[in-house]
Amino acid sequence: MSRWPNDSNVRIEKVMEKGSVLADGDNGKLGGKFIYAGNRPSCWKSAEDIWITGYFHYGWADDALKLAAIDTVAKTFSTAQPHRYGIVAGSPWNAWYAYNIPEEIDAPGEFYIDRKEGILYFYKNEEIKTLELSLFEKPLMELNQASGITIQRIAFECSRGIALEIKSSSDCLLKNCTIQNMGSYAAAISDNPEGPVGKNNGFQNCVIDQTGAGGIHLGGGDRKTLEAAGNFVEYCSISNYNRISKTYCPGVQIMGVGNRISHCEIFNAPHFAIQLTGNDHLIEYNNIHDVCMVTDDVGALYYGRNPSERGHLVQFNYFHNISDIHSSSAIYHDDGACGMKVFGNVFYKAGSKTVLIGGGSDNPYVNNIFIDCKRTIDIDDRLQSYDWAMPWIAPGNLFEQDLNEIRYNQPPYSLKYPELAKYWTDNPGLPKRNVIDRNVFVRIGVVCNNFKRVEYSENNLIVNEDPGFVSEKNQNFKLKSSSVVFKKVSGFQPIQFDKIGILKNGKPVNQSKINK
């Protein structure tokens, strides 16, 4: 949509009225009012159907607000509705851009919608050979309680909804397909609430690009019985998502029980690459980079605030070039998150706090390599020291509700996760069993902010020089057989760096370079 500025944001100068704050229980409908910078809005004839979008309070909560009025003398915007957390100024991400403005159609491809007259205006500087416009909001294709269906070599394009939904099905596969220019997610696998548990469905060798929300919803499995679904996303390129919804719409949202993301490349996004809920997921051999590019308090791989969600294995992934302009992590165990083993991964220039453990337990980091990271292991005890987090473990509160819902102290949970059955008698506010062992730290600013809160072994290696990579210059972080790591770190297992990401004929393919 036609917007101003075309490729940047404008800061919120000063807030006159923050508006109703729904998050604090204020259910009013009072919009906000703030002073804007610059004179450009003076060129707009009317505020009718102009919207602004941005981060009006927190750096992890984007929003779109309709303008009620523009005062070009006082240089103020008044919004027609409130932002959930109230409008504030002062943080670097408190900024906005305006869109759907007829006067701002000044670049090829920009358009404006006159809803009253039902007219779409757009700027095209070349001859129009094909014009596509979609009003379709439902899935382009849906499989419901199906089995054994393969969909391949099809391009799904140009829809306001999603391309494909697979519900309560088994052995269905989307293969060698392209999904682009969608208004919502690209595709989803899930189970109907009253339907059977679908199994072994997947997406393979697909390219997903330019979606309004995220990439793939990968669900399935039964959390009450811990019955695994075995659904998967593999050898897929997922990029340039979050065109409309900037946060909490990741490249892959993995849910349910026993699902897998492997050999994918996920890149070019303002927020998460992967958001995780549920149990017993496997995330392996993925190339994750250039995410968390705008937002604050964010992780490329993110989960949290439910101690029953555990049993995950994250192995042999490459996290790199993750923005550090705000608080960002490669892996973020947020708000008491537990039970994720992180083994054999490579982290290179991976955020401002590469690993952030927010008060949780049972998150071992073993046999990983960290290179050029500012702060590597960041850990806190928020459940026993932060005013906003301590109530979660109070009797009858959030964590007790979550644990009781899945009968945490009875089979199958008590058998599969014996430490969970003792959650309340094991000082839940204190992080524990977060083992740091057999890792290599190369040119690290801070290895750990609080060694008292982790189990840091002597079998870790800290060096300031190349420990024997095949080619650090070319970011080939496979270790040579002569590497000092194998001599100084007892039991260190070689990481098959050349097997990470999308493979073609057994060799990695960098999809981001192909897209360029």
Say which amino acid occupies 255. Answer: M
The Cα–Cα gap between 440 and 153 comes to: 43
The Cα–Cα gap between 464 and 402 comes to: 44
Domain boundary among 199, 234, 269: 269
Domain boundary among 237, 269, 301: 269
Same domain, 302 and 438: yes
Whether 281 maps to a domain, the answer reads: no
Whether 347 maps to a domain, the answer reads: yes
Same domain, 100 and 192: no
Q: Give mean pLDDT, residues 409-433.
A: 96
Q: Is the pTM of this model over 0.85?
A: yes
pLDDT in tens, 321-354: 999 999 999 999 999 999 999 999 999 999 999 9
The Cα–Cα gap between 140 and 185 comes to: 12
Residue 76 β-bridge partners: 35, 71
Q: Domain containing 456: what range? A: 287-500
- Do you find a cis peptide bond into 5, omega within 30 degrees of 0? yes
For residues 169-206, one letter each, b for 16 or more C-beta atoms within 10 angstroms of the residue's C-beta and e for the rest, the string is bbebbbeebbbbbbbbbbbbbbbeeeeebbbebbbbbb
pLDDT band at 310 (very low <50, low <70, confident <90, very high): very high
pLDDT band at 47 (very low <50, low <70, confident <90, very high): confident
Is a pLDDT exceeding 50 seen at residue 516?
no
Is a pLDDT exceeding 80 seen at residue 32?
yes
Same domain, 255 and 365: no
Whether 353 maps to a domain, the answer reads: yes
pLDDT in tens, 363-393: 999 999 999 999 999 999 999 999 999 999 9
Domain count, the chain: 3
Same domain, 390 and 299: yes
Is a pLDDT exceeding 50 seen at residue 28?
yes
Domain boundary among 55, 87, 122: 122
Whether 510 maps to a domain, the answer reads: no
pLDDT in tens, 144-201: 999 999 999 999 999 999 999 999 999 999 999 999 999 999 999 999 988 889 999 9
